[in-house]
Amino acid sequence: MSIVTATSRTPSLRGRASRWLGLGALMLALASTAHAEESSFRHEVLMRGQILEADAGTLVVCVGEADGAQVGQVLEVVRHKRVSRGPKAAGPRFRREPVGQVRITELFDTHYAQAEVVTGKPKVNDTVELIR
């Protein structure tokens, strides 16, 4: 028959303290990382969608009344381009390339709008964003 004492079942005070200290350090690191990212990436996108259809300068975008879209708003257009790099290279595999701007001309659904090209050459699958 083996005898188990109370001290062998519960972790020592030193073990518990080091776990709490490690957890606190991790939370502090995450909080400071989030704060650093927030201050460096601060263009505050209010609305984001995608170009679904393009025909002779008239576009259909998937932003609508439910997203807060309004006729006359100008949206930035961004294309996501693959970055060519070596097989062992680190870093992002895509980059954002500004393409132009579009203006909402008509809201025809709670989720869709018609837009016209203001500048650039937007294509289907490009991203549209309203930036504050």
C-alpha angle 44-48-50 in degrees, rounded to nearest 5: 150
What pLDDT does 21 receive? Answer: 58
Residues 52 and 74 in one domain: yes
Residues 53 and 111 in one domain: yes
- Burial class for 77, CB neighbours closer than 10 Å (0-12, 13-18, 19+): buried
CA-CA distance, 52 to 60, in Å (whole number)?
6
Residues 69 and 124 in one domain: yes
Residues 49 and 35 in one domain: no
CA-CA distance, 73 to 131, in Å (whole number)?
10
Residues 12 and 65 in one domain: no
Residues 20 and 65 in one domain: no
Residues 6+ apart with CB under 8 A from 123: 51, 54, 79, 99
Residues 71 and 117 in one domain: yes
Which amino acid is present at 90? Answer: A
Give the pLDDT band of residue 125 (cuts 50, 70, 90).
very high
Q: Around Cβ 125, how many Cβ atoms within 10 Å?
A: 11
- Structural domain contains residue 1: no
Residues 94 and 52 in one domain: yes
CA-CA distance, 78 to 128, in Å (whole number)?
6
What pLDDT does 46 receive? Answer: 82
Per the structure, the count of domains in the chain is 2
Residues 60 and 13 in one domain: no
Residue identified by tokens 């259809």 is 53
CA-CA distance, 121 to 112, in Å (whole number)?
20
What pLDDT does 104 receive? Answer: 97
Residues 73 and 118 in one domain: yes
Which CATH number do you get for residue 71? 2.40.10.410
Residues 22 and 61 in one domain: no
- Structural domain contains residue 54: yes
What pLDDT does 28 receive? Answer: 52
- Judged against a pLDDT cut of 90, whether residue 119 lies above it is answered with yes
- Structural domain contains residue 23: yes
Q: What is the pLDDT of residues 82-117, one digit of tens each?
A: 887 777 777 778 889 999 999 999 999 899 999 999
CA-CA distance, 75 to 44, in Å (whole number)?
13
Residue identified by tokens 């579009």 is 102
Q: What is the pLDDT of residues 22-78, one digit of tens each?
A: 555 555 554 444 444 444 444 566 889 999 999 988 999 999 999 999 999 999 999
Q: Around Cβ 51, how many Cβ atoms within 10 Å?
A: 22
Residue 103 lies in domain: 45-131
What pLDDT does 79 receive? Answer: 95
Question: Rounded to two decimals, what is the model's pTM?
Answer: 0.62
